[in-house]
Amino acid sequence: MCGIVGVVNFKKSVAKKKIKSMADKLTHRGPDEEGYFLKDNMAFGFKRLSIVDLNHGQQPMFFENLVLVCNGEIYNHHELREELKDKYTFKTECDVEVILYMYKEYGEEFVKRLNGQFAIAIYNRDTKEIFLARDHVGITPLFYTLHKNRFIFASEIKAILEYTKAEIDPKGLDQVLTFPGLTAPQTIFKNIKSLQAGHYLKFKKKNYTLHKYWDLDYPLSVEDKGKEYYLEKLDYHLKRAVSLRLNADVDVGFYLSGGLDSSLIASLIHKLVPDMQRDSYSISFSDSNIDESPYQELMAKEVNSNHHTIHFGWSEIASRLKEMVYHAEAPLKESYNTCSLALSASVRENGKKVILTGEGADELFGGYVGYRLGSKRESGFDMDSILEDEITQKLWGDSGFFYEKEYAGFNEFKELFYSDKLLKKLHKFNSTENDLVDLSQLEGRDFFHKRSYIDFKVRLSEHLLADHGDRVCYANSIEARYPFLDVELIEFIKTIPVKYMIFENKEKYILNEYAKDYVPSEITDREKFAFVAPNASYLLKQDIEWINKLLDTKKIKKEGFFNPDMVENLKQRYLSDDFVLNQTFENDFLMFVLTFEILLEEFDIKGYKDDK
């Protein structure tokens, strides 16, 4: 994968120096090569991380009137080549070349046929139209804005900020506080949007239109074909997904967390290519309560990998915190991305570029506590004290819906947490009154599928795959690949009856049953383990000068986002000896403030600006 940027100027040509400065902001995404195209008052820029066809995969690519830059991988490109080979002459073995001919042959709907992780930009020199597309799930980021007679896009917002000064969007701030993270198209920066997963954008004559080409459209009902049928099909689709993601002209390694998902991926890699020893990577901790190295080492031995264990000390959190926020381009409510940064750094230091990882299984197979609890009506569990019916109806279109954190209870807290002038702005809208997801996809669906759909949209795409995935990997020029998020595998998983997902109160039942043929029982029989890193209380008690300065009450007041008295109260509470934070069910509000303050510093934002 790589980094892409583009600009259309409505009045004059684009300066090469400017498009290059944008691309240079993304060098961490593509340190190997760069390329540019400038014509017709527009420009594309490209930074390459070379993985497939190392000698002939340069971009931009051209065919007739089309110009292409692409960040990503097209895993089914061999199949598509076979389909197109009689009509088009391929010049490279690079996977993204197929995009040009697919677009020429089928038009914009071609994107439905791709199986991969990608952000695509195509310029048609005849029609002067730009086509942008993002993969089905949202693995690969793509941002855009209209600003001062320009249309601008990039793989990361920091490149767009070469053209516009960063300002905080209160809606984005409130969304991060209220939910797991941002949900596209919202970003933390004013007037900059994230292209939604499964969407494409067409830009022409100073305007753009958005189009949805794919969604996680669960069926209203499914036919039960028996457990063995689904196990057999799961075997086929999962092995195919892993096999496709092993295709590269560089070595491919994998992460081992010690849990079921990464262990299963590791075992399937070994099963598919048993004679090739690969590198595996894990992170360990001195705290035995959270250290999973015994399970990691067990699995590494099982698959005969060349295993690398990175020991992470808590003191490293503070040293990596600013880097974490810079790459995330958003405030966060947890610190464990610093661990992920250290892990991807170790992969790069080992000379590798590509790893496979297990994200996505929890959202598809039901790996969170909410799936077991079920709805209020189904479980008989009194959720009224946790989530009010009227709020959940607004959020999810179902008054019986349950989500882990007490999001609805934030309204009273926000009145104390935000500054008065920010509250005036926030009173004009409410995060809980906006549709974060397509509510029609929830109508008539099983509770399990509702929960899975919302996790996909609210937790996975712009959160776990963004600040927890793409950003912490590409910070160190590493590409992460996700077999569980193969679109053909997802389409199959949608057909599995819910009774095989949660059985006898067992999460991810069918995946666990399948894994028993590949993964040691010490791992398949484990209770699900939720890793959490130290919260802001730990950092505050270290008495680190720069952290103290960022959380200074006078500074907080001057910037105008938060109530300084409330922040001071939080600091005193976090410093108390008896302070305990359950990070599974409670938000780390002070970590949110701290990382937001880092964001202001990293992107040179002086304070809140009310646009009235």
Compute the distance between CA of residue 82 and CA of residue 90 in angstroms, rounded to an integer.
11
The per-residue pLDDT for 375 is 44
- Distance (Å, whole) CA 147 – CA 169: 15
Closest by Cα among 356, 357, 366 to 512:
366
CA 85 to chain centre: 34
Share of the chain above pLDDT 70, in %: 91
| Calpha distance 328→194 (Å, rounded) | 13
The percentage of the chain sitting over the pLDDT mark of 90, rounded to a whole number, equals 71
More confident: 371 or 134: 134
pLDDT surpassing 90 at residue 72: yes
What is the pLDDT averaged over residues 187-197?
Answer: 97
Query: CA 210 from chain center: how many Å?
Result: 21
| pLDDT at 269 exceeding the cut of 50 | yes
pLDDT at res. 431: 57
d(CA 100, CA 114): 12
Q: State mean pLDDT over 392-419.
A: 60
Write the DSSP string, 381-422: ---TTTS-HHHHHHHHS-TT---SS-GGGHHHHHHHHB-HHH
Ramachandran angles phi, psi of 282, nearest 5°: -140, 165
pLDDT for 535: 86
pLDDT at 426: 81
Residue 399 and residue 393: Cα distance in Å, rounded? 4
pLDDT at position 381 over 50: no
Segment 252-260 shows an average pLDDT of 95
At position 185, the amino acid (one-letter code) is P
Which whole number is the average pLDDT over 381-388? 39
DSSP bridge partners of 73: 117
Q: Which of 68-72, 314-318, 437-441 has the lowest mean pLDDT?
A: 437-441
pLDDT tens for 163-186 read 999 999 999 999 998 888 899 999
Q: What's the rounded mean pLDDT across residues 371-399?
A: 47
Residue 101 has pLDDT above 50, yes or no: yes
The confidence score (pLDDT) of residue 405 equals 46
Q: Is residue 398's pLDDT more than 70?
A: no
* Per-residue pLDDT at 367: 87
125 versus 287: which is more confidently predicted? 125
Q: How far apart are CA 71 and CA 139, in angstroms?
A: 11
Of the ranges 123-127, 199-203, 444-448, which one carries the lowest mean pLDDT score? 444-448
Distances (CA, A) of 106 to 60, 61, 103, 109, 556: 21, 18, 5, 6, 54
Where is 151: in which H helix or E strand?
strand 150-154
> Which tokens in the block code for residue 456?
């996909």
Query: Which comes out higher in pLDDT, residue 596 or 375?
Result: 596
C-alpha span between 453 and 432 (Å, rounded): 17
The larger pLDDT score, comparing residue 287 to residue 70, is at 70
b or e along 561-571 (b: 16 or more beta carbons within 10 Å of the residue's beta carbon)?
bbbbebbeebb
Which tops the pLDDT comparison, 372 or 61?
A: 61
CATH number, domain 2-212, options 3.90.550.10, 3.30.200.20, 3.60.20.10, 3.40.50.620: 3.60.20.10
Q: Is the pLDDT of residue 404 over 50?
A: no
Packed helices 315-328 and 589-602: angle between N→C axes, nearest 10 degrees: 60
Residue 392 has pLDDT above 90, yes or no: no
Q: How far is CA 245 from CA 186, 240, 305, in A?
A: 30, 9, 18
Cβ contact 537:261 at 8 Å: no
Cα–Cα distances in angstroms (integers) from residue 444 to residues 32, 389, 398, 439, in the given order: 49, 18, 10, 11
Instruction: Judge contact between 376 and 385, C-beta under 8 A.
Output: no
**Which DSSP helix (H) or strand (E) runs through 512?**
helix 509-515
Q: Rounded mean pLDDT of the chain? A: 89
What CATH number is given for 227-359+465-524 in this structure? 3.40.50.620
> What mean pLDDT do residues 262-266 have?
97
Residue bearing the bigger pLDDT, 405 or 214: 214
Task: With cut-offs at 50, 70 and 90, classify the pLDDT of residue 387.
Answer: very low
Instruction: Please give the pLDDT value at position 585.
Output: 55
Q: Regarding beta strands 199-204 and 129-134, do their DSSP bridges make them parallel or antiparallel, or are they unpaired?
A: antiparallel
Q: Is 307 helix (H, G, I), strand (E, B) or coil?
A: strand
pTM: 0.92
* CB environment 87-106: b (16+ within 10 A), e (fewer): ebeeeebbbbbbbbbbbbee
CA distance 270 to 273: 5
265-300 burial, b at 16+ Cβ within 10 Å, e below that, comes to bbbbbbeeeeeeebbbbbbbbeeeeebbbebbbbbb
What's the whole-number mean pLDDT along residues 357-386? 68
Residue that wins the pLDDT comparison between 409 and 477? 477
> pLDDT band for position 486 (50/70/90)?
very high
Q: Are strands 207-212 and 193-194 parallel, antiparallel or unpaired?
A: unpaired
* 290-337: pLDDT as tens digits: 889 999 999 999 999 999 999 998 889 999 999 999 999 999 998 989
Domain borders along the chain are 2-212, 227-359+465-524, 377-446, 536-602
Question: Taking a C-beta distance cutoff of 8 angstroms, is the pair 120, 201 a contact?
Answer: no
**135, 116 contact by CB (below 8 A):** yes
SS3 117: strand
What pLDDT, on the 0 to 100 scale, is given for residue 401? Answer: 47
**E-state strands within 27-115:** 33-39, 42-48, 61-63, 66-74
Nearest to 133 by CA among 113, 149, 147, 150: 113
Q: What is the C-alpha end-to-end distance of the chain, expressed in Å?
A: 41
The CA distance from 96 to 79, in Å, is: 13
What pLDDT is stored for residue 551 in this prediction? 95
With a cut of 50, say whether residue 374 has pLDDT above it: yes
One-letter identity of residue 303: V
- Tell me which of 91-105, 381-395, 540-554 is least confident: 381-395
Question: Mean pLDDT throughout 75-103?
Answer: 94
| pLDDT value of position 391 | 42
Number of Cβ atoms within 10 Å of the Cβ of 520: 16
DSSP string, 183-231: -TT--SBTT-EEPPTTEEEEEETTEEEEEE-------S------HHHHH
